[in-house]
Amino acid sequence: MIAGGRRIGKIEIHRVLEMVMPFDRRTFFPNNSDEDWAPHRSWLEPDALDPKLDALLFPMQSYIVRTAHHTVLIDSCVGNDKDRPKRPAWHHKTDDAFLRGLRSLGIGPADIDYVFCTHLHADHIGWNTRLENGRWVPTFPNARYIFSKQELDSWRDVGHKNFARTPLEDSVLPIVAAGRADLVANDFALDDQIRLESTPGHTPDHVAIALQSAGESAVMSGDLMHSPVQCLHPEWVPWPDWDAALASRTRRAFLERYCDTPTLVCTAHFPLPSAGRVVRAGGAFRDGFRFIYDDQPWS
């Protein structure tokens, strides 16, 4: 079962890839000029920045964590049949790449015990639900879904001018209505191996998922960073960040916390294989960090 995955102590970690999607770099980082990007193109291309499209390449993926007691899904990608008119590749999608990825690991929807969501953006909650006879029902019928209560309340009661409520209504609120949601604080721990780590800014109560077992550790960073260039420049702000100043401080604090440690950092949208270690950068970028990719193949 571990072939192609990772082992952190007694925990297994696997990726489930739904798609890789291009995003226009100027739109995604609206405050950064071509001159800002120029020193970085040589190392970002072609995996993180497609030179032909001049676009950032972001995997849409989930992580599966298997402990002795639980099978946990972290973030649930884009999903099928969702109304996402601003994203044609996501809009009313009907492919089964995500479910095939689960099956390739010997996992069916009924085998998931917990679903953790780092935040409530559309590409991290989509497979929470599936369409059945015109109704949104939990995709993982036996799972408890772990949501930050503060995060949910922020989107439900306030929302954000740049985001529609539709993903909340089709991928989160049906879970609550079905009685499958656990609304928790941002220091929640499932057990001594899996806990939340507060990383706000990208959304009101964005969290990372920290893992620990037998003296080894990993962390799923969610969307506190989208591109490896933000390791060198934590101050670069992508347009989806809810609170730009807070998100920048969170990125730097996260990078400082894990810099030059053995903790495996599993990112949501860095180029495949998306996992590695944070080290302090040298040369011209003394105040920044670098992301060193793990050289082991994933499944």
pLDDT of residue 285: 42
Q: For residue 143, give every residue at least 6 positions away whose Cβ sits within 8 Å of its Cβ, in sequence order, or none.
A: 73, 112, 113, 114, 115, 180
**Weakest-pLDDT range from 77-81, 229-233, 235-239, 290-294:** 290-294
Banded model confidence at residue 294, pLDDT cuts 50, 70, 90: confident
**DSSP-H helix ranges across the chain:** 25-28, 34-37, 41-44, 97-104, 149-157, 166-171, 173-177, 229-232, 244-258
**Whether pLDDT at 248 is above 80:** yes
**Whether pLDDT at 4 is above 90:** no
Banded model confidence at residue 284, pLDDT cuts 50, 70, 90: very low
Banded model confidence at residue 65, pLDDT cuts 50, 70, 90: very high
CA distance 120 to 204: 10
Q: To 10 degrees, the CA torsion angle through 264, 223, 175, 142? A: -20
CA distance 156 to 179: 17
| Range 58-71 average pLDDT | 97
| Range 65-77 average pLDDT | 97
Among residues of the chain, what percentage have pLDDT more than 90? 88
Banded model confidence at residue 5, pLDDT cuts 50, 70, 90: confident
pLDDT of residue 299: 52
**Whether pLDDT at 103 is above 70:** yes
- Amino acid found at 119: H
**Whether pLDDT at 286 is above 60:** no
**Whether pLDDT at 182 is above 80:** yes
**Whether pLDDT at 76 is above 70:** yes
What rounded mean pLDDT belongs to the chain?
A: 93
pLDDT of residue 281: 82
pLDDT of residue 142: 98
Q: Is residue 187 helix, strand or coil?
A: coil
Query: What are 208-241's pLDDT values in tens digits?
Result: 999 999 999 999 999 999 999 999 999 999 999 9
| Range 267-288 average pLDDT | 81
| Range 237-248 average pLDDT | 96
The percent helix, strand, coil of the chain (3-state, each to 5) is 25, 30, 45
Partners of 19 in beta bridges: 60
Sequence spans of domains, the chain: 6-217
- Amino acid found at 36: D
Banded model confidence at residue 158, pLDDT cuts 50, 70, 90: low
**Whether pLDDT at 2 is above 60:** no
CATH of the domain spanning 6-217, picked from 3.30.420.10, 3.30.390.50, 3.60.15.10, 3.40.50.970: 3.60.15.10
Query: What are 112-144's pLDDT values in tens digits?
Result: 999 999 999 999 999 999 999 999 999 999 999
pLDDT of residue 242: 93
| Range 155-176 average pLDDT | 83
